[in-house]
Structure formats: structure tokens, C-alpha cells
Structure 1
Amino acid sequence: MKERLQKVLARAGIGSRRAAEGYIAAGRVMVDGCRVSQMGLQVDPECQRITFDGRPLSFPEEKITVLLNKPAGYVTTMHDPQGRPLVGSLVKEPGLRLFPVGRLDLETEGALLLTNDGDLANRILHPRYEIKRTYQATVKGVPAAAALQALRQGIELEGRRTWPAQIRTLRRREGECTLEVIIHEGRKRQVRKMFAAIGHPVLRLKRVAYGGLRLGDLASGAHRRLTAADIRRLFQGSPPQGQQE
């Protein structure tokens, strides 16, 4: 049975469908010995030979997702030309190839999902579901109430307005302030850019929850497999499938 190439790659645990499109565009995928760059190509993995970076696809029988408490100083990728520490080195799941769902920048800590389930990764990343990400941001100084209200309502960042954010102050210390920030967008370095825009750069950033799934007391650098109940918590409060496009 034929299906789109990027969906086949996701099902094989190569990455989300969005990531798979990038791999196709980069010429890393071949079908029957021919390099492919066409998006949406229909293929039959049972009848055709499909390779990624020269290796035939395999389809894992066991699909798992883990929650990692990412430490600062690790890059959210499975390969880094600069040789920096990789998040994959922290997750020991023998025989399973896991990839990160979304990203945390080098110095950001906290909740990061890794999986070999491309369909689940696609659901988590799709804007339709509006999965909330909860952060604790320690910023320089104490933002004025008006500045925080502006972030709550949305501000212009790089030519696009941010969606409204939920923000509350957790604690204040001399010269800094820690706030809880809840957003559902996945724009690159968004929380850091939001606070830089109001003149209060982020000193430390940690993601503490994905939807209704919280990091809890998971130690830095440790991970755990998610249960079916955990997966349901990810989508708590999200619009039902098909309600939004």
C-alpha cells in the first residue's frame, strides 16, 4: 500500500514528518537507488527499497517515548559537527533509535521528549493541538507590570506577533526575578526573545511541563519511559483532533 514518503520515514523512527521533509530536501533519502527531493512522493515500503543515509529503513515493533530532564550544555540533535554533548548520549535504550521531539537550546534545561514514534511526534508538534509548554524563567531585574502584561497579550517578534502567554511571578531576589511562563508556540528561542524584547534578558531557563505532563522530581540528566496515561496527559486541554487547522 502506497503512502507519502515523509510519513514512511516518520513511521520508521527517522524523525517527525517535518524533519523527514528536511531530510528529503537535503538529498539524504533514496528510493530504489535514486536520490529523492520530491515532497509527497507516494511509495510502498513493502515493494520498494528506501534508504536514509545509505541504510535501509527498518520499522520498530516497539514504539516508546521517554521524558528526559535535559541538563544545560547538551545540544538537542543526534549529530553535531562541533562535537558538543548530545542529548541522545543521556538516553540508554538498547536497540532503539530515538529522536528528539522539538528542541531546547544549548543552555536551556528541563523537559524534552525523545521517541521512535513519528506519528506521535507529528501530533505533538502540530499547531492544531496547541500543547502548552510551561517554563520557569529567571530574568535579570524585575519586569514592570505593564511589560509583563504586554507579553501576556502578545508582542511583535521578528515581524510576527506572539500568541498570548500566561505569566506569573514565582519569586524575586536582589537583581533578578523568576517567573512561570506558559506558551503553546514552538518558535526558536521564543521565551528568551520575549524577555530580551522588554529589556530583561533570561539568566536561566527550564521547561518544567509539556501539556499536563510535568517533569516532577526527575533528576537532571535522567529519563523515564512514558506510559499510556502520560501520553494522554500531554494532550490535556488541547483542542480535539479536527477542530482546528
Structure 2
Amino acid sequence: MIRKSASDPQRIAKLLARAGIASRREIERMIIERRIAVNGVPIETPATLLASLQNVTVDGKPVAAPEPTRLFLYHKPAGLLTAERDPKGRPTIYDRLPKDLPRVIPVGRLDLGTEGLLLLTTDGEFKRQLELPATGVERTYRARAYGNVTQEQLEDLIEGVEIEGVRYGSIDANLERRTGANTWIEMKLKEGKNREVRRVLEHLGLKVSRLIRTAYGPFVLGDLAPGEVGEILQNQLVAFRKTLKKPK
């Protein structure tokens, strides 16, 4: 297989995502809004091919050459949206992140009421790679739910489940402990569809009262306090990237 060199033309959306400007989808929207230009002329299509970001501007500002990818762990508190802004004025993670962080993009999302580990990266292309189910990165959650469920019911989730026409893939679920009328359940999955954990548990007749993501791949929440941010060392990041499956 012939690998592309760094100087080979690539789609501008991919180059800008790699530079940490935004995700590919967001960049495509910015192009439609005529916010991205080359030599002062607005780009008309995300399929535009460029060898570099030289003379590219976003909102009139030159785009800096991409720096090495950085990855951060953030303990997202409940009550924050995983979004840059909210039309309803609700607080977002960007309202609470430390001001000295570089521009970062969340890897996936955590719902408003979900807390725990949220990965943040400076590299939009890396974000996309981590989010793809085919990449095979496992997410781990702990859920506190009201109601009764058996270990046997949870073990059936290993085969996947279909709920209201939506197919959810294999989930490794285990009872941790019961506290009164509540049950703590650990769930490991690789898809991370919208509200997947909540919908699957509700399908089993449970009402989720607390949901915490404790790990994303090899990265764990550990003793990171709510609102705190930690950075993954470059050697750890490089080693992790070597383990990722290549999407087909």
C-alpha cells in the first residue's frame, strides 16, 4: 500500500480537522457559511484539495500549521452540555474548562445529566477516529438504576438488542451491588450511540438515576475530581494510537 506523504493534496476539511479547527462536520458547515478562504477567496466545497494550509484563513484569521496532537481527560460534572454553545443558554463544558487550555474538541458526547470521563483533543481527525465503532475503543460506564434486574438479563445484552427499530451492539454488563431499591451496574460497549446506556436499561424496566463514564479505552477517570483536567503524556498517546484498529 502506498502511503500519502504530508505534501500530497488532501481535502481541506481533513486538513483543518487535523489542525484542530473543528470537526469535519463543523468545518463543512463553516464552508457553507463562507467562513473559510484560500488567498482571500471563500472555499465552495469541502472536497477542495490542498497540499498545506498555507494562505488558508478561517473567519479572516490565518490557520497555524498543526502542532502535535494533544489529549486531555476531563471529569465532566452533571448539568453541563457537551457543546460549544446552547441556544437555550444552558451551561456548557466550555463555560467551565480552564482558560489556559488550547482549543480542544470533545471526543463524543456525554448527555446533560451524565458525568464522568470526557476526552478532549486538539486534533479533529483523531477525534473522528476515536469515535468510529470500527476503531474498537471500549467505553465503560457505571449506572445507578431503580428497579429489579438479574445478572442473566444483563448477560443477554452481550448479543446486542433492538429497541424501537434501533440496533445496539454487544454490551458487557454486570451487576455490581444493590443499595436498597437501587442497583449499580457496570457496562462496557464500543458503539456509544446516542443515550445508548439509558435506553438499554430503560428497556429492561430500570430507571437510571445516575450515570458515570469511568473509562474510554485505556484512559480512566481515576481520582480526577469533577471539573478537573489532566493531560495524557505524549509517549502514552503515541503508544495508544498504535493500538487502534484501522477502519475498513
Tell me if TM exceeds 0.5. Answer: yes
Q: Are 2:120 and 1:114 aligned? A: yes
Contact 2:53 2:63 in 1 (8 A): no
Q: TM-score, normalised by structure 1?
A: 0.85
Kindly, what percent of the aligned residue pairs are identical? Answer: 35
**How far apart, CA to CA, are the structure 2 residues paired with 1:162 and 1:171?**
25
Q: For 1:56-91, what per-residue CA distance to the aligned partner results, in whole angstroms no more than 9, with x for missing partners?
A: 423353542210010001111122222222212333
Residues 13-92 of structure 1 correspond to what in structure 2 (within 5 A)? Answer: 13-24=20-31, 28-36=35-43, 38-51=45-58, 53-61=59-67, 63-92=69-98
Matches of 2:238 and 2:102 in 1, distance apart?
A: 23
Q: Does 1:6 align with 2:18?
A: no
Query: 5 Å matches for 1:104-143?
Result: 104-143=110-149
Aligned equivalents of 1:70 and 1:223: distance in 2? 9
Distance of 2:28 and 2:79 partners within structure 1: 28
State how many pairs are aligned: 241
- Higher mean alpha-carbon deviation, 30-39 vs 157-166, is at 30-39
Report the equivalent of 1:182.
Answer: 188
CA distance in structure 1 between the aligned counterparts of 2:65 and 2:110, rounded to whole angstroms: 27
Q: How far apart are the structure 1 equivalents of 2:160 and 2:178?
A: 23
Query: 1 CA distance for matches of 2:241 and 2:183?
Result: 30
Q: 1:34 to 1:8 in 2, by over 3 A?
A: same
SS of alignment partner, residue 98 of structure 2: coil
Q: Distance in 2 between matches of 1:179 and 1:74?
A: 23
Gaps of 5+ in 2: 1-6
Q: Secondary structure, in 3 states, of the residue corresponding to 1:150?
A: helix
- SS of the residue corresponding to residue 39 of structure 1 reads coil
Distance change >3 Å, CA 127–CA 31, structure 1 → 2: farther
Question: Are the structure 2 counterparts of residues 207 and 25 from structure 1 closer, same or farther at C-alpha, using a change threshold of 3 Å?
Answer: farther
1:94 partnered with 2:100: yes
CA distance in 2, matches of 1:146, 1:135: 19
Q: What code does the residue aligned with 2:17 have?
A: A
Deviation at 1:115, TM superposition (A): 1.5
User: Cα gap change, 1:99/1:142 in structure 2, threshold over 3 Å: closer, same or farther?
Assistant: same
Q: Any stretches of 5+ residues in structure 1 without a counterpart?
A: none
The aligned amino acid for 2:231 is R
Letter in 2 for 1:8: L
Moved more, 8-17 or 219-228: 8-17
Stretch moving more, 3-12 or 139-148: 139-148
**Normalising by structure 2, what TM-score?**
0.84
Q: Deviations over 1:128-183 (max 9, x none)?
A: 32100000011111213443233222111342321111011111022110110000
**Residues of 1 paired with 2:153 and 2:26: CA distance?**
35
Task: Give the distance between the partners of 1:26 and 1:204, measured in 2 at CA.
Answer: 39
Q: How does 1:176-215 map to 2 (within 5 A)?
A: 176-215=182-221
Distance 1:167 1:222, change over 3 A: same
Match of residue 173, structure 1, among 171, 179, 187: 179
Q: Is the 8 A contact 2:36 2:56 kept in 1?
A: no
More deviation in 185-194 or 118-127? 118-127
Partner letter of residue 163 of structure 1? G
Contact in 1 for aligned 2:18/2:126 (Cα 8 Å)? no
CA separation of 1:15 and 1:239: change in aligned 2, threshold 3 A: same
